Amino acid sequence: MHLSHPKTPTAHASHLEFHKLRTLPSRSFIYSYATLSALTATLLVVLILGLLAYQSGSAIFEANDSLLGSVWSPAKNQYGILPMLYGSLIVMVLAMGLALPIGILTALYISETRSETVRRLSKTMLEILAGIPSIVYGLIGVAFLSLWVADIFYLQTGRVILTASLLLAIMILPTIITLTEDAFSNVATPYRENAYALGLYRFEVIKEVILPQAKGDVIGAAFLALGRALGETMAVMLVIGSLDRIPTPAYNILSSAQTITSKLGREIAESAFGSTHFNVLVLMSLILVVITLSLTGLAHILFKSAGSND
Protein backbone atom coordinates (compact mmCIF):
# COMPACT_ATOMS: atom_id res chain seq x y z
CA MET A 1 0.00 0.00 0.00
CA HIS A 2 1.19 3.41 -0.78
CA LEU A 3 1.58 4.97 2.58
CA SER A 4 1.35 8.60 1.75
CA HIS A 5 -1.69 8.27 -0.42
CA PRO A 6 -3.72 11.33 0.44
CA LYS A 7 -7.10 9.76 -0.26
CA THR A 8 -6.69 6.81 2.08
CA PRO A 9 -8.99 7.72 4.96
CA THR A 10 -6.63 6.53 7.69
CA ALA A 11 -3.70 8.43 6.31
CA HIS A 12 -5.85 11.48 6.03
CA ALA A 13 -7.02 11.20 9.61
CA SER A 14 -3.55 10.72 11.00
CA HIS A 15 -2.38 13.64 8.97
CA LEU A 16 -5.09 15.74 10.49
CA GLU A 17 -4.29 14.57 13.95
CA PHE A 18 -0.64 15.32 13.45
CA HIS A 19 -1.58 18.77 12.39
CA LYS A 20 -3.73 19.16 15.48
CA LEU A 21 -0.92 18.01 17.74
CA ARG A 22 1.47 20.51 16.29
CA THR A 23 -0.81 23.47 16.74
CA LEU A 24 -2.03 22.51 20.18
CA PRO A 25 -1.59 25.56 22.40
CA SER A 26 1.55 25.28 24.50
CA ARG A 27 -0.36 26.78 27.41
CA SER A 28 -1.71 23.39 28.34
CA PHE A 29 -2.75 22.14 31.74
CA ILE A 30 0.78 21.06 32.59
CA TYR A 31 2.08 24.49 31.71
CA SER A 32 -0.31 26.30 34.00
CA TYR A 33 0.28 23.82 36.77
CA ALA A 34 4.08 24.07 36.48
CA THR A 35 3.99 27.85 36.33
CA LEU A 36 1.78 27.99 39.37
CA SER A 37 4.08 25.76 41.39
CA ALA A 38 7.16 27.75 40.44
CA LEU A 39 5.33 30.95 41.33
CA THR A 40 4.38 29.48 44.69
CA ALA A 41 7.99 28.71 45.47
CA THR A 42 9.10 32.20 44.51
CA LEU A 43 6.21 33.99 46.17
CA LEU A 44 6.80 32.17 49.44
CA VAL A 45 10.11 33.94 49.88
CA VAL A 46 8.52 37.29 49.15
CA LEU A 47 5.63 36.49 51.45
CA ILE A 48 7.87 35.47 54.35
CA LEU A 49 10.09 38.53 54.05
CA GLY A 50 7.15 40.86 53.44
CA LEU A 51 5.15 39.58 56.36
CA LEU A 52 8.10 39.85 58.71
CA ALA A 53 8.87 43.36 57.50
CA TYR A 54 5.22 44.40 57.78
CA GLN A 55 4.85 43.01 61.27
CA SER A 56 8.12 44.44 62.53
CA GLY A 57 7.61 47.85 60.99
CA SER A 58 5.50 49.06 63.85
CA ALA A 59 8.09 47.85 66.35
CA ILE A 60 10.47 50.53 65.16
CA PHE A 61 7.94 53.25 66.01
CA GLU A 62 6.68 51.74 69.22
CA ALA A 63 10.03 50.95 70.74
CA ASN A 64 12.16 53.44 68.89
CA ASP A 65 14.42 54.76 71.62
CA SER A 66 15.06 51.62 73.55
CA LEU A 67 15.70 49.37 70.51
CA LEU A 68 19.39 50.07 70.24
CA GLY A 69 19.92 49.93 73.98
CA SER A 70 21.06 47.03 76.05
CA VAL A 71 18.15 46.78 78.45
CA TRP A 72 15.39 44.27 77.79
CA SER A 73 12.40 44.70 80.01
CA PRO A 74 8.99 44.56 78.33
CA ALA A 75 7.32 45.55 81.63
CA LYS A 76 9.15 48.89 81.54
CA ASN A 77 8.74 49.23 77.80
CA GLN A 78 12.46 48.71 77.26
CA TYR A 79 13.27 46.61 74.20
CA GLY A 80 17.02 46.74 73.74
CA ILE A 81 18.10 44.14 71.18
CA LEU A 82 21.84 44.68 71.56
CA PRO A 83 22.35 41.82 74.07
CA MET A 84 20.78 39.37 71.63
CA LEU A 85 22.78 40.64 68.66
CA TYR A 86 25.95 40.45 70.73
CA GLY A 87 25.10 36.98 71.98
CA SER A 88 24.46 35.68 68.47
CA LEU A 89 27.67 37.24 67.23
CA ILE A 90 29.95 35.91 69.94
CA VAL A 91 28.48 32.40 69.89
CA MET A 92 28.77 32.31 66.12
CA VAL A 93 32.35 33.58 66.07
CA LEU A 94 33.49 31.20 68.81
CA ALA A 95 31.80 28.20 67.23
CA MET A 96 33.35 29.08 63.90
CA GLY A 97 36.78 29.58 65.45
CA LEU A 98 36.59 26.10 66.93
CA ALA A 99 35.01 24.28 64.03
CA LEU A 100 36.75 25.84 61.05
CA PRO A 101 40.36 24.75 61.78
CA ILE A 102 39.36 21.26 62.83
CA GLY A 103 36.98 20.99 59.91
CA ILE A 104 39.52 22.11 57.33
CA LEU A 105 42.25 19.87 58.72
CA THR A 106 39.90 16.91 58.72
CA ALA A 107 38.82 17.67 55.18
CA LEU A 108 42.47 17.84 54.14
CA TYR A 109 43.12 14.50 55.78
CA ILE A 110 40.17 12.94 53.95
CA SER A 111 40.94 14.43 50.55
CA GLU A 112 44.74 14.27 50.53
CA THR A 113 45.10 10.74 51.87
CA ARG A 114 43.51 9.91 48.54
CA SER A 115 42.07 6.66 49.72
CA GLU A 116 38.66 5.74 48.44
CA THR A 117 37.88 3.77 51.60
CA VAL A 118 38.63 6.70 53.90
CA ARG A 119 36.60 9.02 51.74
CA ARG A 120 33.56 6.75 51.54
CA LEU A 121 33.62 5.98 55.25
CA SER A 122 33.97 9.65 56.13
CA LYS A 123 31.12 10.67 53.88
CA THR A 124 28.87 8.11 55.52
CA MET A 125 30.02 9.28 58.92
CA LEU A 126 29.28 12.90 58.04
CA GLU A 127 25.82 12.03 56.78
CA ILE A 128 25.08 10.29 60.07
CA LEU A 129 26.34 13.31 62.01
CA ALA A 130 24.30 15.71 59.91
CA GLY A 131 21.23 13.56 60.41
CA ILE A 132 21.11 13.97 64.17
CA PRO A 133 18.31 16.46 64.91
CA SER A 134 19.31 19.63 66.70
CA ILE A 135 17.03 18.93 69.65
CA VAL A 136 19.10 15.81 70.37
CA TYR A 137 22.23 17.95 70.39
CA GLY A 138 20.41 20.16 72.84
CA LEU A 139 19.69 17.19 75.05
CA ILE A 140 23.34 16.19 74.97
CA GLY A 141 24.30 19.76 75.80
CA VAL A 142 21.98 19.86 78.77
CA ALA A 143 22.77 16.37 80.05
CA PHE A 144 26.54 16.39 79.57
CA LEU A 145 28.29 19.35 78.06
CA SER A 146 26.87 22.03 80.37
CA LEU A 147 27.63 19.89 83.42
CA TRP A 148 31.21 19.33 82.25
CA VAL A 149 31.74 23.02 81.60
CA ALA A 150 30.35 23.86 85.03
CA ASP A 151 32.66 21.30 86.64
CA ILE A 152 35.77 22.36 84.79
CA PHE A 153 35.38 26.09 85.39
CA TYR A 154 33.69 25.87 88.83
CA LEU A 155 30.56 27.63 87.62
CA GLN A 156 27.15 27.70 89.23
CA THR A 157 25.56 26.90 85.92
CA GLY A 158 27.11 25.39 82.83
CA ARG A 159 24.61 27.05 80.56
CA VAL A 160 27.01 29.66 79.27
CA ILE A 161 28.33 31.08 76.00
CA LEU A 162 31.19 28.59 75.89
CA THR A 163 28.85 25.60 76.12
CA ALA A 164 26.63 26.92 73.38
CA SER A 165 29.66 27.59 71.17
CA LEU A 166 31.08 24.12 71.72
CA LEU A 167 27.77 22.50 70.90
CA LEU A 168 27.30 24.68 67.86
CA ALA A 169 30.83 23.92 66.70
CA ILE A 170 30.04 20.20 66.75
CA MET A 171 26.82 20.84 64.88
CA ILE A 172 28.38 22.81 62.03
CA LEU A 173 31.39 20.51 61.64
CA PRO A 174 29.63 18.21 59.13
CA THR A 175 28.72 21.17 56.91
CA ILE A 176 32.25 22.54 56.98
CA ILE A 177 33.94 19.19 56.40
CA THR A 178 31.62 18.11 53.60
CA LEU A 179 31.87 21.38 51.68
CA THR A 180 35.60 21.98 52.12
CA GLU A 181 36.38 18.36 51.34
CA ASP A 182 34.49 18.72 48.08
CA ALA A 183 36.44 21.88 47.37
CA PHE A 184 39.78 20.15 47.96
CA SER A 185 38.82 17.07 45.98
CA ASN A 186 37.74 19.31 43.11
CA VAL A 187 41.24 20.74 42.70
CA ALA A 188 42.31 19.24 39.41
CA THR A 189 44.64 16.27 39.75
CA PRO A 190 47.26 17.66 37.32
CA TYR A 191 47.99 20.53 39.72
CA ARG A 192 48.61 18.04 42.45
CA GLU A 193 50.72 15.75 40.28
CA ASN A 194 52.81 18.57 38.88
CA ALA A 195 53.54 19.85 42.36
CA TYR A 196 54.40 16.43 43.74
CA ALA A 197 56.56 15.71 40.71
CA LEU A 198 58.66 18.77 41.59
CA GLY A 199 59.58 17.10 44.86
CA LEU A 200 57.37 19.07 47.20
CA TYR A 201 56.16 17.63 50.47
CA ARG A 202 52.47 17.05 51.00
CA PHE A 203 52.39 20.01 53.36
CA GLU A 204 53.88 22.25 50.70
CA VAL A 205 51.56 20.95 48.00
CA ILE A 206 48.58 21.67 50.23
CA LYS A 207 49.87 25.10 51.22
CA GLU A 208 50.95 26.21 47.77
CA VAL A 209 48.54 24.47 45.44
CA ILE A 210 45.47 22.99 47.09
CA LEU A 211 44.56 25.82 49.46
CA PRO A 212 45.03 28.67 46.94
CA GLN A 213 42.99 26.78 44.35
CA ALA A 214 40.19 25.93 46.76
CA LYS A 215 40.19 29.29 48.54
CA GLY A 216 36.90 30.56 47.14
CA ASP A 217 35.02 27.40 47.94
CA VAL A 218 36.47 27.21 51.42
CA ILE A 219 35.40 30.77 52.23
CA GLY A 220 32.00 30.00 50.74
CA ALA A 221 31.70 26.96 52.96
CA ALA A 222 32.62 29.08 55.95
CA PHE A 223 29.89 31.61 55.13
CA LEU A 224 27.32 28.87 54.70
CA ALA A 225 28.32 27.36 58.03
CA LEU A 226 28.09 30.81 59.64
CA GLY A 227 24.55 31.08 58.35
CA ARG A 228 23.70 27.70 59.82
CA ALA A 229 25.28 28.63 63.14
CA LEU A 230 23.37 31.88 63.29
CA GLY A 231 20.03 30.27 62.56
CA GLU A 232 20.38 27.31 64.90
CA THR A 233 17.77 27.49 67.64
CA MET A 234 17.02 24.46 69.74
CA ALA A 235 20.46 23.40 70.92
CA VAL A 236 21.58 26.96 71.61
CA MET A 237 18.36 27.86 73.39
CA LEU A 238 18.77 24.99 75.82
CA VAL A 239 22.37 25.71 76.83
CA ILE A 240 22.88 29.47 76.53
CA GLY A 241 21.33 30.34 79.89
CA SER A 242 18.89 32.92 78.49
CA LEU A 243 20.17 36.03 80.23
CA ASP A 244 19.29 39.24 78.39
CA ARG A 245 22.50 41.06 79.22
CA ILE A 246 25.78 41.67 77.52
CA PRO A 247 28.24 39.82 79.78
CA THR A 248 30.68 41.88 81.80
CA PRO A 249 33.40 42.06 80.70
CA ALA A 250 32.11 41.57 77.17
CA TYR A 251 34.58 38.78 76.41
CA ASN A 252 33.50 36.73 79.41
CA ILE A 253 32.48 33.56 77.65
CA LEU A 254 31.75 31.82 80.94
CA SER A 255 28.66 33.89 81.52
CA SER A 256 25.12 33.23 80.39
CA ALA A 257 23.75 35.22 77.48
CA GLN A 258 21.00 35.24 74.92
CA THR A 259 21.05 34.87 71.14
CA ILE A 260 18.41 36.07 68.71
CA THR A 261 17.23 32.54 68.10
CA SER A 262 17.10 31.56 71.74
CA LYS A 263 15.20 34.74 72.51
CA LEU A 264 12.68 33.93 69.81
CA GLY A 265 12.35 30.33 70.93
CA ARG A 266 11.80 31.33 74.53
CA GLU A 267 9.48 34.29 74.17
CA ILE A 268 7.33 34.04 71.07
CA ALA A 269 4.85 31.81 72.84
CA GLU A 270 4.74 34.19 75.81
CA SER A 271 4.13 37.42 73.96
CA ALA A 272 0.73 38.47 72.72
CA PHE A 273 0.29 38.73 68.98
CA GLY A 274 0.45 42.34 67.86
CA SER A 275 2.00 43.66 71.03
CA THR A 276 5.18 45.71 70.92
CA HIS A 277 6.96 42.79 72.57
CA PHE A 278 5.90 40.46 69.76
CA ASN A 279 6.74 42.97 67.05
CA VAL A 280 10.23 43.50 68.39
CA LEU A 281 10.73 39.75 68.34
CA VAL A 282 9.63 39.72 64.70
CA LEU A 283 12.07 42.53 64.00
CA MET A 284 14.88 40.46 65.48
CA SER A 285 13.82 37.56 63.33
CA LEU A 286 13.90 39.81 60.28
CA ILE A 287 17.45 40.90 61.15
CA LEU A 288 18.37 37.24 61.53
CA VAL A 289 16.89 36.33 58.15
CA VAL A 290 18.59 39.22 56.40
CA ILE A 291 22.00 38.32 57.84
CA THR A 292 21.56 34.60 57.14
CA LEU A 293 20.40 35.18 53.60
CA SER A 294 23.28 37.57 52.92
CA LEU A 295 25.74 34.98 54.20
CA THR A 296 24.12 32.27 52.07
CA GLY A 297 24.09 34.57 49.07
CA LEU A 298 27.74 35.45 49.53
CA ALA A 299 28.58 31.77 49.83
CA HIS A 300 26.88 30.96 46.55
CA ILE A 301 28.53 33.87 44.77
CA LEU A 302 31.88 32.52 45.99
CA PHE A 303 31.02 28.97 44.91
CA LYS A 304 30.03 30.25 41.50
CA SER A 305 33.11 32.36 40.93
CA ALA A 306 35.32 29.55 42.15
CA GLY A 307 33.58 27.20 39.74
CA SER A 308 34.02 29.48 36.73
CA ASN A 309 37.75 29.81 37.30
CA ASP A 310 38.50 26.39 35.86
The angle subtended at Cα 127 by Cα 123 and Cα 132, nearest 5°, is 150
Question: Minimum distance between the CB of residue 93 and another protein, rounded to whole angstroms?
Answer: 17
Selected binder of another protein within 15, 18, 64, 93 (CB under 8 A): 18
For position 206 contacting another protein by CB under 8 A, the verdict is yes
Q: Select 140 or 150, whichever has its Cβ closest to another protein.
A: 140
Between 36 and 250, CB nearer to another protein: 36
Position 40 contacts another protein (CB under 8 A): yes
**Span 46-75, contacts to another protein by CB under 8 A:** 47-48, 51-52, 55
Number of residues that bind another protein (CB under 8 A): 102
For residues 37 and 249, give the distance between their C-alpha atoms in angstroms, rounded to a whole number: 52
Chain residues 235-274 in contact with another protein, contact rule CB under 8 A: 238, 261, 264-265, 268-269, 273-274
- Determine if 200 is a binding residue for another protein (CB under 8 A): yes
CB of residue 249 vs another protein: minimum separation in angstroms? 29
* Chain-centroid distance, C-alpha 240: 20
CA distances from 253 to 40, 130, 160, 247 (A): 44, 26, 7, 8
Contacting another protein (CB under 8 A), which of 16, 60, 109, 275?
109
Q: Is 150 in the site for another protein (CB under 8 A)?
A: no
93 touches another protein (CB under 8 A): no
Contacts of 229 (CB under 8 A, 6+ apart): 91, 92, 95, 96, 168, 171, 172
Question: For another protein, which is the closer residue by CB, 89 or 289?
Answer: 289
Per DSSP, helices labelled H in the chain are 9-23, 29-62, 82-112, 116-131, 134-140, 146-153, 161-185, 189-197, 202-205, 211-231, 234-239, 260-267, 276-308
Cα–Cα distance measured from residue 14 to residue 40, given in angstroms and rounded to the nearest whole number = 39
The minimum distance between CB 6 and another protein, in angstroms, equals: 18
Q: Is residue 106 at the binding interface for another protein, with CB under 8 A as the rule?
A: yes
Please identify which residue in 93, 97, 300, 307 interacts with another protein, judged by CB under 8 A.
300
Q: Is 282 in the site for another protein (CB under 8 A)?
A: yes
In this complex, which beta carbon is closest to another protein, that of residue 40 or of residue 77? 40
Characterise 258 by phi-psi region: left (phi > 0), alpha (psi -120 to 50), beta (else).
beta
Q: Is 161 exposed, middle or buried (0-12, 13-18, 19+ CB in 10 A)?
A: buried
